[in-house]
Amino acid sequence: MAIDFAELAGPGHTALLVMEMQRGVVGDLAKFPELVKSCAERRVVDNAARAAAAARLAGVRVIQCTAAFRPDRAGSHTGNAPFIKALLRDPQHMLEGTGAIEVVPELADPSDIEARRYHGFSPFTGTSLDQTLRSLDVRTVVAIGVSLNLGIPGLCLEAVNLGYRVVVLTDAVAGMPAEYGDAIMANTISLLAARVTTDDLIAAWEGPR
């Protein structure tokens, strides 16, 4: 898919949203082996790191959309979804102040902005992400990270509802099982976002330089 750099990915109007690329989700402290396997097979961490590095060089803001829980769970809805209830059977799951909530080293950079959430599965509701993007005059968001089961579809739907144009990097996202992630990309993400590869977007960002 050809990308019009000026329209879609101009540095002044685009942000790269990195969804839950955290040590406790896809890194050395991860507790989701099937998701880690899917990411490894598709080189998601490598491609996401390449996209983030290219974004910073192009002047595109990188925003780390992270998840965490306080030890006392204050600010989190803990009983309204089966998956959350299952996760929180582990009292140490993604606790604030632990290594599990840190961004994986390949993607971390001091210049990035962090948008942290304490409840739910998507990055806009109950956070300052929308206000942050609007303060940066962002019109297009590029989504990378995990997962295609919940977080990426939620991100795309919320962003579209808020008026943003959305791009998803097809080789920098993953779900579990991998085949289900492919079905989500084909049947849900395709209705909400442009789908391009990491190489496509990097070429667009490097084009005017």
Per residue in 169-185, pLDDT (tens digit) is 999 999 999 999 999 99
Decide: helix, strand or coil at residue 198.
Answer: helix
Distance between CA atoms of 91 and 43, rounded to whole angstroms? 31
136, 196, 184, 141: which is closest to 164 by C-alpha?
141
**DSSP secondary structure code for residue 66 in this structure:** E
Per residue in 38-83, pLDDT (tens digit) is 999 999 999 999 999 999 999 999 999 999 988 887 777 877 778 7
DSSP H or E segment with residue 120:
none
Least confident of 115-119, 152-156, 202-206: 202-206
For the record, the structure tokens of 187 come out as: 């049947």
| Runs of H (alpha helix) within the chain | 5-8, 33-41, 44-58, 82-87, 129-135, 151-161, 178-184, 190-192, 198-206
127: left (phi over 0), alpha (psi -120 to 50) or beta: beta
The crossing angle, in degrees rounded to 10, of helices 33-41 and 44-58 is 60
State yes or no: pLDDT of 21 exceeds 80. yes
Q: In this predicted structure, what is the pLDDT of residue 8?
A: 61
Half-sphere exposure of 87 (CA within 13 A, CB side): 24
Q: Distance between terminal CA atoms of the chain?
A: 20
Residues in the chain, overall count = 209
Least confident of 43-57, 65-79, 103-117, 120-134: 65-79
State yes or no: pLDDT of 13 exceeds 50. yes
Contact 201, 3 (CB under 8 A): yes
